[in-house]
Chain A
Amino acid sequence: MKLKSRHLLGLEGMSAEDIGLILDTSVSFKEVLERPIKKVPPLQGKTIANLFFESSTRTRISFELAERRLSADVVSFAASGSSVSKGETLKDTARNIEAMKIDMVVIRHSSPGAAHFLSKVVDANVINAGDGAHEHPTQGLLDMFTLREKFGSLKGLRVCIVGDILHSRVARSNIIGLNTMGATVSVCGPATLIPREIEKLGVEVYHNLEDVIQRVDVLNVLRIQLERQESGFFPSLREYHRYFGVTREKVSKASKPVTIMHPGPINRDVELSADLADSEHSVILQQVTNGVAVRMAVLYLLGTS
């Protein structure tokens, strides 16, 4: 039992067996997180660098927590206040990491392919924590883990990803991963925010949220970046909320309960209504808890092989 790659750069090209192994291993780490002492020793003596070239709170904290709970030594770089803001290239940063004998690197970067590039120039295991609009594999994995925990299996599960699909790495990783695991994936959003030819990834496209709600088990609601309005992707937040905002009223029309997910941070009452975010059908906080377990599983599987 071993992952085929020594890096986690994306879910594209990853086999169902490998995804299954990560999800199964996450179950064990979830149990560890419920113990009074949540620390286990498998990565003792390993050093992990977190390179966050783009701001992030949840993902960075989740990774750091996962690393520390596996007993690794952790160093974190943030874009502001490091040499990155002084104009150092990614390759030079990587070389410096190498010189400091770091075993694993977690990288978040605004350029698609940054993690891939890093994996070519350093010996360390590289984990992609989000690269531009390309992929965010651990988010995809934790979403799948949360769904598998709730529904027992991903096979045949109908999931719709709602919102800004165009700029979303979360959407891409979810679509690829869920398809590999046999779920049926659709996307829904304004035409300006749905990439052309997205059907080629194996998804159905909807522009009417009320239609799609009738046909799915799960809505994964994406964050609307407020600056997208200024770039003219949609006329106003109010209009966006009216047509694509997920509300209790719209969801209550479905013949059976729909599970609500959100990768965070939520714009309450924009893409998702506040009462629904806190309702019994929401698994948003479970996603956060599971994020640590899933990241522990990935770090453990890559770090001990």
Chain B
Amino acid sequence: MKKTKLFDQAGLKRTINRLAHEVVERNKGAEDIALVGIRTRGEHLAHRLAKTIQEIEGKPIAVGCLDITLYRDDLHGRLDQPQLKSTEILFDITGKVVVLVDDVLFTGRTIRSALNALMDIGRPATIQLLVLVDRGHRELPIKADFAGKNVPTSLKQEIKVLMSEADNEDAVYLIDPPDQGNT
């Protein structure tokens, strides 16, 4: 199994900084912006982004997190049931510019679920998508507005995002499947 480090701690920090600046630049400030992270890594990422945007703009910014389990399209027929957690969006998203935050963009199915979940909570003015890593292989017509890094991958590879809030370190790895010949 080969592990390639795509981001180390400093790299992750620089990328989050850049993404925060891009969000502020695109929206001409942070007025009306709300960040919504998809549980669980997206939630941590959203909090870090909010902190950075707050430093840039000098104003607090609304952050929430979204649990998309109930909206998944693969809920039935799974061997293991995903653990249901709560959505915590303690502000009205109607009329806001909601920046949806996730760690990895892959098939786009998570984002589809998240969009449906958001629509049930309110009617945002716009929804923008921010991801740390875009690894390709979309199965739905969805694209990121802000991407930390585009990483061409094969379907067998795995992207692992580690954040100190949930893991032991800040890092992003590209993991190759175990070599078939050497087993």
Name A residues whose Cβ lies closer than 8 Å to a Cβ of B: 1-2, 24-25, 27-28, 31-32, 35-37, 39-42, 300-301, 304-305
Contact = CB atoms under 8 A, between A and B. Distances in A.
Contacts of A304: 75-76, 78, 81
Contact of A41 (B71, B78, B88): B71
Given A25-B84, A300-B84, A304-B81, A42 B75 contact: yes
A37 B120 contact: yes
B87 A31 contact: yes
Contacts of B69: 42
Contacts of B67: 28
Nearest to A26: B84
Interface residues of B, number: 20
B122 A36 contact: yes
Nearest to B120: A37
B121 A36 contact: yes
A1 B81 CA distance: 6
Given A1-B83, A2-B80, A40 B71 contact: yes
Contacts of B78: 304
Interface in B89-125: 116, 120-122
Contacts of B122: 36
Q: Is the interface of B mostly helix, strand, loop or mixed?
A: loop
B121 A2 contact: no
Nearest to B67: A28
Contact of B70 (A27, A37, A40, A305): A40
Contacts of A25: 84
B164 interface: no
Interface of B: 67, 69-71, 75-76, 78, 80-88, 116, 120-122
A41 B81 contact: no
Nearest to A1: B83
Nearest to B77: A304
Contacts of A36: 121-122
Given A41-B71, A304-B76, A35 B120 contact: yes
B49 to A, nearest CB: 23
B84 A37 contact: no
Nearest to A301: B81
B84 A39 contact: no
12 contacts: A2-B80, A28-B67, A28-B84, A28-B85, A28-B86, A32-B87, A35-B121, A37-B120, A37-B121, A300-B84, A301-B81, A304-B75
A41 B116 contact: yes
Nearest to B72: A42
A35 B64 CA distance: 14
A35 B67 CA distance: 14
A77 B88 CA distance: 37
Contact of A27 (B75, B76, B80, B86): B86
Contacts of A37: 120-121
A2 to B, nearest CB: 5
Contacts of B84: 24-25, 28, 300
B80 A31 contact: no
Contact of A1 (B80, B88, B120): B80
Nearest to A30: B86
Q: Top 9 A-B pairs ranked by shortest CB distance? A: A40-B70, A31-B86, A37-B120, A28-B84, A28-B86, A2-B81, A42-B70, A1-B83, A304-B75
Contacts of B116: 41
Contacts of B87: 28, 31-32
